[in-house]
């Protein structure tokens, strides 16, 4: 998700509205609070709150996103289920402040929004536990129907809590970053909902264990939650480093040829900017970046003499060049994680009128990613010096792209590419040497 | 019959003897109530699900969470019944996942679980009885013959954990016993499993065990925590607690698989890119990969940990990266392999080895001994591959120089490394080579 924020009154007003709704919930929660016997429960509350705040400070951020995964969510749910909505609100406030604390420059509207949304999340789950008559099964064997009813109540309360949390975060991000609600929602649901639902159920189990066997039972949750966090963090780190590794190794391959040095990295930059202007989801933009970095990997199968020939290519030499998309596809087919990039790499030299080469596709049969790659690749090739000609100027290359609309290039993609140039500093950053 | 199969047979015999020695009340006595049948069914389903979702590592052992289920079974059932439950669950899981079942692998898995059941029984039975005394068992089960690990005494845990039963200290001790039991149980599971892998792969046992602990240690502790939680909440949630526990175990397994898949893809991508770099040089195509495979085999036998194996393998894959890609095949004097890869964070572990290779063994700082061994293996196997597969005369100056450095630092290590190289490439490298290294 693009991190450029709007600087108008919409988000502050939205944050105030969320905070006011949260204030109403707090009043209701305090008014309806059930008495809690603190002689035995103070330790449980302290442990859950301390662990929740610690987890929030150590939350793992999704790369290039506003969404994060924290183990504080199940702990907040456990407090709401065990102690009721008023204490859930308390945890919400502490969690929001713990997010803001290490970053003193945090703006007031974001702190207010976080406090409001967390209060609404935990109090709503807590109210549902309370209203549906849920009682944690603290002692003795329970009848099977009682267990099923309790599990259903837990599932409903957690689902409502997760739904409120997701909706508020998605709306907030949409207002703050000016993106469409649909796009933000689809990303938010994919990123947050499965893990939050699971963790919410774990939170209810925590409350159950605390009720059944007291504070010592909570210790058994420490390692599973820490392991889940560590595993997730390592996966995120590996995923981020993956693209860097590919970029470095492709750069090492290209460095052998002064004419293609940096080509793939520049194509990736152009392609990603264009894809964002076309409104592609972030997940697809990420994959496109990888495809762009690897789009010419098949050139390892083309003789360097042909690639760097200073003059017109013979038919046989041109046929050899035309094999590179297929070779690239064959190389990448062996890697399951990269296999989805194969169609766009295989088709990146196709033309809309069917006169290109690679996969034999034409028109809308060419994947959109391949059409984006085609424009980005062509622009960089035209503006780079090659053995047989000097680099074109930006204006001349744009003229060529415009001239190829409909026959060679997708007109919408050309428009998006040019808009990306107008809106950003691509020209200054990305110009080939 | 090889050593691994003899070990499986021995394991089966020990497991049978242990289960027989641990015999308690018969199966029929265990399954007299509906609760008991539900519990047994839940355990079988959980074991089957987790076996079906097990992750098979390239070296042949499976990573599953069934140890956690086995621990629960051990806490609630007799050793015979829990062994039967785990065997049926495992076989069902294999059938559901449609994985080919090899007789020896099946025997190994089932007998390992049976052995663990006997261990769990012995531990829980004797430890708890020693702490709580005969009255605990008697009040729980009602007969002198009953033991803690029977279903009846498993249900007695309920009584122990209901308010009003016993002192808080007694209940805390019980938690401690269950938690410690979980750790012992999973440790025994890993130890036996890695013994089998060691015999199958002819790799040093401790190296495999340490690698396995590093890879799965925390995951195993987390799974045993979930198993202990399930035992603790059994009094209130009954078999439903097992549904939640199995869900948690599956989610933990999935996250492990996700991470493992990402790591595997990453390694595969690196290999594919390394292979691509050699594509334009028809004579040396596949050289780096062959060298990497030989180096990995030797390093595994020498006892490198899994992390160090990965580092030395990457170093082998990219040892020529600075020289690849030009039609002439001539070295690029301005670049070194370590410089080319300097920005690749996840290949950082291979850089010290590449620096030793780049500097002809003359790095200024004191290198780690395993890095020197790794560099020596890469250089020596590269020479061997040049001679055998590429068909060019090797230029052993580099491997000789690094070998001399290795010999000067630790003679014993150097001789062991030479033995491994000679074992993998008999006749091509002799111990005399080392003398030549030193002379150089």
* pLDDT one-digit tens code per residue, A316-360: 888 888 888 888 888 888 777 788 889 999 999 999 888 888 877
Contact call for B244 and A331, based on CB within 8 A: no
Q: What's the pLDDT at B172?
A: 62
Q: Which of residues 144-163 of B touch A (CB under 8 A)?
A: 158, 161-163
Give B273's Cβ-side CA count (13 Å radius). Answer: 27
Residues in chain A closer than 8 A to B326 (CB atoms) = 256, 304
Q: What's the pLDDT at A374?
A: 92
Instruction: Out of B158, B223, B345, name the one closest to residue A141 (CB).
Output: B158
Residue B247 near chain A (CB below 8 Å) = yes
Residue B172 near chain A (CB below 8 Å) = yes
Asked if residues B278 and B284 have their Cβ atoms less than 8 Å apart, the reply is: yes
- Across chain B, mean pLDDT equals 72
Q: Percent of chain A having pLDDT more than 70?
A: 85
Look up the pTM and report it: 0.69
Taking only the tens place, the pLDDT of each residue in B412-426 is 777 888 877 777 766
Give which of A220, A221, A236 to mutate to test B binding, by max B Cβ within 10 Å. A220
Q: Which of residues 350-389 of A touch B (CB under 8 A)?
A: none
Q: What is the DSSP string of A368-426?
A: HHHHHHHHHHHHHHHTS-BTTBPPPPHHHHHHHHHHTBTTTB-HHHHHHHHHHHHHSSH
Taking only the tens place, the pLDDT of each residue in B133-184 is 543 333 333 332 333 343 334 444 444 444 444 455 655 666 666 667 777 7
Give which of B229, B253, B331, B337 to mutate to test A binding, by max A Cβ within 10 Å. B229
Name the pLDDT band for A371 (thresholds 50, 70, 90).
very high
Most confident by average pLDDT, A66-70, A84-88, A424-428, B152-156: A84-88
| pLDDT of residue B247 exceeding 60 | yes
Q: Which of residues 279-298 of B touch A (CB under 8 A)?
A: 279-280
Contact call for A239 and B262, based on CB within 8 A: yes
Q: What's the pLDDT at A136?
A: 61
Instruction: Out of B236, B263, B344, name the one closest to residue A208 (CB).
Output: B236
Residues in chain A closer than 8 A to B268 (CB atoms) = 334-337
Of residues B343 and B348, which shows the higher confidence score?
A: B348
Residues in chain B closer than 8 A to A221 (CB atoms) = 225, 229
How near does any CA of chain A get to the CA of B89, in Å? 24
Of residues A396 and B419, which shows the higher confidence score?
A: A396
Asked if residues A172 and A1 have their Cβ atoms less than 8 Å apart, the reply is: no
> Averaged over A76-99, what is the pLDDT?
87
Taking only the tens place, the pLDDT of each residue in B273-290 is 777 777 767 777 788 888
Contact call for A252 and B248, based on CB within 8 A: no
Q: What's the pLDDT at A277?
A: 86
Distance, CA of A430 to CA of B113 (rounded, Å): 60
Q: How far is CA B171 from the centre of its chain?
A: 34
Residues in chain A closer than 8 A to B226 (CB atoms) = 220, 224
> Averaged over B44-70, what is the pLDDT?
75
Residues in chain B closer than 8 A to A208 (CB atoms) = 233, 236-237
Taking only the tens place, the pLDDT of each residue in A207-218 is 878 877 777 778
Contact call for B345 and A142, based on CB within 8 A: no
Asked if residues A408 and A357 have their Cβ atoms less than 8 Å apart, the reply is: no
> Averaged over A167-175, what is the pLDDT?
85
Residues in chain A closer than 8 A to B277 (CB atoms) = 252-253, 300
How near does any CA of chain A get to the CA of B233, in Å? 6
Q: Which two tokens stand for residue A417?
A: 């590419």
- Return the axis-axis angle of helices B168-201 and B103-141, rounded to nearest 10°: 170
Distance, CA of A70 to CA of A83 (rounded, Å): 21
Q: What's the pLDDT at B1?
A: 62
> Averaged over B220-226, what is the pLDDT?
81
Residue B408 near chain A (CB below 8 Å) = no
Give which of B236, B320, B338 to mutate to test A binding, by max A Cβ within 10 Å. B236
Distance, CA of A126 to CA of B138 (rounded, Å): 43
| pLDDT of residue B203 exceeding 90 | no
Distance, CA of A386 to CA of A365 (rounded, Å): 31
Asked if residues B286 and B275 have their Cβ atoms less than 8 Å apart, the reply is: yes
Instruction: Out of A217, A235, A338, name the one closest to residue B258 (CB).
Output: A235
How near does any CA of chain A get to the CA of B206, in Å? 24
A386 bridge partner residues: A389
| pLDDT of residue B434 exceeding 50 | no
Nearest to B179, CA basis, from A410, A222, A33, A340: A222
| pLDDT of residue B26 exceeding 60 | no
Taking only the tens place, the pLDDT of each residue in A245-290 is 788 777 777 766 666 778 888 899 899 989 988 888 777 888 899 8
Of residues A313 and B134, which shows the higher confidence score?
A: A313
Distance, CA of A81 to CA of A203 (rounded, Å): 8
Contact call for A337 and B262, based on CB within 8 A: yes
Q: What's the pLDDT at A256?
A: 64
Task: Kindly identify which residue of chain B lies nearest to residue A206, measuring between CA atoms.
Answer: B229
| pLDDT of residue B99 exceeding 70 | no
| pLDDT of residue B435 exceeding 50 | no
Distance, CA of A329 to CA of A299 (rounded, Å): 11
Name the pLDDT band for A376 (thresholds 50, 70, 90).
very high
Instruction: Out of B225, B251, B261, name the one closest to residue A223 (CB).
Output: B225
Taking only the tens place, the pLDDT of each residue in B229-245 is 777 777 667 777 777 78
Q: What's the pLDDT at A134?
A: 61
Instruction: Out of B163, B244, B341, name the one closest to residue A139 (CB).
Output: B163
Q: What is the DSSP string of B320-374?
A: TGGG-S-TT----TT--HHHHTTT-GGGGGGHHHHHHHHTTT--SS---HHHHHH
Contact call for B268 and A335, based on CB within 8 A: yes
Instruction: Out of B256, B269, B335, name the one closest to residue A335 (CB).
Output: B269
Task: Kindly identify which residue of chain A lies nearest to residue B267, measuring between CA atoms.
Answer: A335
Q: Percent of chain B having pLDDT more than 90?
A: 0
Residues in chain B closer than 8 A to A213 (CB atoms) = 161, 171, 175, 232-233
ipTM of predicted assembly, 2 dp: 0.70
Nearest to A222, CA basis, from B174, B335, B391, B222: B222
Q: What's the pLDDT at A104?
A: 47
Q: Percent of chain A having pLDDT more than 90?
A: 10
Give one word for A68, left, alpha or beta, with left for phi > 0 and alpha for psi -120 to 50: beta
Q: Percent of chain B having pLDDT more than 70?
A: 69
Phi, psi of B6 (to 5 degrees): -60, -40
Q: What's the pLDDT at B153?
A: 43
Q: What's the pLDDT at A175?
A: 83
Nearest to B294, CA basis, from B276, B330, B319: B319
Q: What's the pLDDT at B241?
A: 76
Contact call for B237 and A142, based on CB within 8 A: yes
Question: What sections of B98-204 are H helices per DSSP?
Answer: 103-141, 151-161, 168-201
- Across chain A, mean pLDDT equals 80
Name the pLDDT band for A140 (thresholds 50, 70, 90).
very low
How near does any CA of chain A get to the CA of B280, in Å? 6
Asked if residues B307 and B349 have their Cβ atoms less than 8 Å apart, the reply is: yes
**Residue B322: how many other CB atoms lie within 10 Å:** 22
Nearest to A155, CA basis, from B136, B71, B244, B327: B244
How near does any CA of chain B get to the CA of A269, in Å? 19
Distance, CA of B285 to CA of A37 (rounded, Å): 74
Q: What's the pLDDT at B174?
A: 63
């Amino acid at each position: 998700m693009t991190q450029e924020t709007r600087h108008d009154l919409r988000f502050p007003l939205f944050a105030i509205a969320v905070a006011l709704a949260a204030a109403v919930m707090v009043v209701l929660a305090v008014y309806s609070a059930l008495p809690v016997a603190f002689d035995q429960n103070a330790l449980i509350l302290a442990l859950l709150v301390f662990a929740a705040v610690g987890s929030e400070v150590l939350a793992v951020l999704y790369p290039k996103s506003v969404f994060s995964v924290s183990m504080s969510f199940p702990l907040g749910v456990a407090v709401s289920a065990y102690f009721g909505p008023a204490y859930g609100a308390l945890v919400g406030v502490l969690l929001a402040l713990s997010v803001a604390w290490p970053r003193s420059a945090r703006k007031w509207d974001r702190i207010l929004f976080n406090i409001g949304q967390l209060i609404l999340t935990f109090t709503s789950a807590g109210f549902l536990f309370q209203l549906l008559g849920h009682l944690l099964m603290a002692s003795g064997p329970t009848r099977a129907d009682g267990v099923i009813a309790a599990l259903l109540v837990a599932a409903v309360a957690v689902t409502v809590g997760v739904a409120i949390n997701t909706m508020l975060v998605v709306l907030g991000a949409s207002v703050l970053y000016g993106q469409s609600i649909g796009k933000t929602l689809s990303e938010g649901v994919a990123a947050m909902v499965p893990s939050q639902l699971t963790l919410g159920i774990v939170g209810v189990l925590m409350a159950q264990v605390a009720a059944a066997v007291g504070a010592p039972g909570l210790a058994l949750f420490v390692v599973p939650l820490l392991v889940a966090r560590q595993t997730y963090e390592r996966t995120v780190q590996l995923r981020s480093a993956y693209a860097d590794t590919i970029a470095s190794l492709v750069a090492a391959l290209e460095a052998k040829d002064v004419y293609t040095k940096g080509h793939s990295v520049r194509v990736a930059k152009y392609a990603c900017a264009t894809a964002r202007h076309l409104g592609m989801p972030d997940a697809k933009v990420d994959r496109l970046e990888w495809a762009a970095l690897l789009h010419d990997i098949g050139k390892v199968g083309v003789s360097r003499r042909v690639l760097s020939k200073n003059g017109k290519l013979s038919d046989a030499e041109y046929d050899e060049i035309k094999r590179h998309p297929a070779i690239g596809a064959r190389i990448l087919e062996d890697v399951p994680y990269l296999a989805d990039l194969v169609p766009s790499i295989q088709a990146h030299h196709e033309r809309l009128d069917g006169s290109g080469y690679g996969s034999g596709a034409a028109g809308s049969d060419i994947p959109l990613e391949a059409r984006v790659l085609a424009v980005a690749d062509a622009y960089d090739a035209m503006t780079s010096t090659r053995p047989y000609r000097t680099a074109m100027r930006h204006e001349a290359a744009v003229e060529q792209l415009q001239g190829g609309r409909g026959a060679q290039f997708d007109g919408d993609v050309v428009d998006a590419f040019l808009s990306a140039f107008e809106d950003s500093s691509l020209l200054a950053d990305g110009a080939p040497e | 019959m090889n050593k691994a199969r003899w070990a499986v047979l021995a394991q089966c015999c020990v497991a049978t003897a242990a289960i027989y020695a641990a015999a308690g009340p018969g199966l029929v006595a265990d399954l007299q109530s509906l609760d008991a049948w539900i519990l047994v069914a839940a355990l079988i389903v959980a074991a089957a699900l987790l076996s079906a979702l097990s992750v098979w590592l390239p070296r042949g052992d499976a990573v599953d969470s069934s140890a956690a289920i086995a621990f629960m079974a051990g806490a609630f059932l007799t050793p015979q019944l829990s062994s039967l439950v785990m065997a049926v669950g495992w076989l069902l899981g294999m059938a559901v996942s449609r994985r080919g079942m090899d007789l020896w692998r099946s025997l190994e898995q089932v007998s390992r679980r049976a052995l663990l059941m006997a261990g769990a029984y012995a531990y829980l039975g004797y430890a708890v009885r020693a702490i709580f005394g005969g009255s605990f068992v008697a009040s729980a089960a009602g007969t002198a013959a009953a033991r803690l690990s029977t279903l009846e005494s498993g249900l007695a845990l309920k009584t122990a954990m209901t308010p009003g039963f016993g002192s808080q200290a007694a209940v805390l001790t019980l938690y401690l016993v269950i938690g410690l039991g979980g750790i012992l149980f999973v440790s025994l599971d890993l130890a036996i499993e890695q013994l089998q892998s060691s015999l199958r792969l002819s790799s040093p046992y401790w190296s495999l065990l340490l690698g396995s602990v590093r890879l799965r240690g925390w995951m195993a502790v987390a799974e045993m925590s979930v198993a202990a939680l399930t035992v603790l909440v059994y009094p209130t949630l009954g078999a439903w607690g097992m549904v939640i526990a199995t869900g948690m175990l599956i989610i933990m397994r999935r996250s492990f698989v996700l991470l493992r898949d990402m790591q595997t893809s990453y390694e595969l991508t690196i290999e594919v890119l390394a292979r691509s770099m050699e594509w334009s040089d028809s004579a040396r195509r596949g050289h780096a990969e062959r060298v990497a495979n030989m180096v990995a085999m030797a390093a595994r036998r020498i006892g490198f940990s899994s992390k160090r194996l990965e580092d030395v393998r990457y170093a082998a894959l990219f040892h020529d990266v600075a020289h690849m890609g030009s039609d002439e095949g001539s070295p690029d004097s301005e670049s070194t392999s370590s410089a080319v890869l300097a920005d690749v964070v996840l290949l950082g572990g291979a850089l010290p080895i590449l620096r030793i290779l780049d500097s002809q063994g003359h790095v200024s700082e004191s290198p780690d001994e395993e890095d020197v061994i790794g560099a020596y293996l890469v250089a020596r196997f590269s020479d061997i591959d040049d001679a055998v597969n590429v068909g060019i005369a090797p230029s052993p100056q580099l491997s000789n120089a690094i070998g001399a450095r290795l010999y000067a630092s630790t003679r014993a290590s150097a001789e062991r490394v030479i033995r491994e190289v000679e074992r993998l490439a008999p006749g091509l490298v002799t111990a005399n080579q080392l003398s030549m290294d030193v002379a150089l």
